Structure 1
Amino acid sequence: MSSSPADQCSILIVDDMEENLIAFEAVLGPLHEHLVRARSGEEALKAMLRQEFAVVLLDVRMPGMDGFETAANIKRLDQTKDVPVILVTGAEAGADYAYRGYAIGAADFITKPIDPWVLRTKVNVFLDLHRKTRQLAMRGTAGDTDRLAEITERLAQIELLLRNRPGAESAGLADRIAAVERSVDSLLPGPTG
């Protein structure tokens, strides 16, 4: 499945070994997404603070900050806590790896040697979820803006009708509606008319 540049997502690949990074890139290349490399947990955290990622592939065994500690730090930060993390482990990983990973918030596990089809399928699930979440957020914002603009327009019409009616009561009500109209109008993004 190929994505357009506007629809393209970023995937963070974290591994201290160059050959593993190359293998991930080869497997994920057909997805036509933006792949970002990190060679340590520290480098991964810096990358995540600089840009948005749809999913993180994180090697468990790395010198310094290992995958578990890196994942725990990712899940602690407000900016990155919702990014799904797939932990990548060696075949010798025990059941305690899964327990530790899920306990710190990992979304999934994949074992080396990696089955390319399984990895692409799992990553695609998170890419689709990320795109849908982004679409919903954009629709919600646009829908809210449209609705506020509609409310402002209706308030302006009501205010005009009241100002055209004789009587002090109508004028007072029109003034209150004008105040509400200004309040709603101030909620709209950008310059208002």
Structure 2
Amino acid sequence: MSTSHADPSSILIVDDMEENLIAFEAVLGPLHQHLVRARSGEQALKAMLRQEFAVVLLDVRMPGMDGFETAANIKRLDQTKDVPIILVTGSEGGADHAYRGYAIGAADFIAKPVDPWVLRTKVNVFLDLYRKNRQLAVRTVTGDADRLTEITDRLSRIELLLRDRPDTDPPGLADRIAELERAVGTLLPDRTGTTR
């Protein structure tokens, strides 16, 4: 398993029973990540709005807001909808729990009693995906910054051309401006919030 000790990610563990939280912390401890506890669905939602998590480990059976309701609420919020959820369920749920969980957006299931190796492996897969997505986002931002630098350089050259030329429409200026407008347009977000 590949884990990063230098830049730990956060994992949210949601269970209403203290002994289960302690057990999950003991199992996930060797991954050297930041473990955050929540004892209810309400606490889980508050925690998710306060910080970013790589994965959520969520017990299905809890008083009040159960795991299914909590997962559905997590998936409804723009800020948290992409966070993978591993539902922890007893053996009594069977196919009904699996269908219901996948229908609301759970990424995976694990049954009690939990096999420590299986749990660490599943969580580690989501940690790796989270890190790769973050690296990709950084590369995209860096690439955009490089493009903006290139555009700034081009604009500076055009400005120099305009200053040095007495005529108001030097040959090729309109083409250069159109090219720059297209380049800038690809970096600006469209109405859906994605880069064109």
Give the superposed CA RMSD: 2.4
Residue in structure 1 matched with residue 89 of structure 2 by the alignment:
89
Q: Secondary structure at the match of 2:63?
A: coil
Can you list the C-alpha shifts for 1:16-71, whole angstroms capped at 9, x where unaligned? 00110011000000000000000000000000000000000000000000000000
- 2:72 counterpart letter in structure 1: A
TM normalised by structure 1 equals: 0.86
Question: Residue type matched to 1:56 in 2?
Answer: V
Show the counterpart of 1:25: 25
Which residue of the partner structure matches residue 155 of structure 1?
155
How many Å separate the matches in 2 of 1:154 and 1:168? 18
Indicate yes or no: 2:17 matched with 1:4: no
Question: Cα deviations across residues 90-114 of structure 1 (Å, max 9, x unaligned)?
Answer: 1222210000000110000000111
Instruction: Measure the CA separation in 1 of the matches of 2:168 and 2:102.
Output: 67
SS at match of 1:117: helix
Q: Give the gaps of 5 or more residues in structure 1.
A: 189-193
Match of 1:71 in 2: 71
State the aligned residue count. 181
Identity of paired residues, percent? 82
Q: 3-state SS of the aligned residue for 2:78? A: coil
Per the alignment, do residues 76 and 168 of structure 1 end up closer, same or farther by CA in structure 2, a change over 3 Å counting?
closer
For residue 139 of structure 2, what is the aligned residue in structure 1? 139
Report the Cα offset of residue 130 of structure 1: 0.5
| Counterpart Cα distance in 2 of 1:95 and 1:118 | 20
Which shifted more, 148-157 or 126-135? Answer: 148-157
Q: Which runs of 5+ in 2 are unaligned?
A: 189-196
2:115 maps to amino acid: D
Q: Which amino acid aligns with 2:5?
A: S
Alignment of 1:49-64 (within 5 A): 49-64=49-64
Letter in structure 2 aligned against 1:54:
A
Q: 1:108-160: CA deviations, max 9, x gaps?
A: 00001111110011001100000011111111111101111111112211331
1:166 Cα deviation after fit: 4.0
1:165 to 2:155 alignment: no
CA contact (8 A) 2:162 2:168 kept: no
On the 8 A contact 1:163/1:170 being kept in 2, the answer is no
Match of 1:191 in 2: none
- Give TM-score scaled by structure 2 length: 0.84
Alpha-carbon separation, structure 2, partners of 1:118 and 1:145: 41
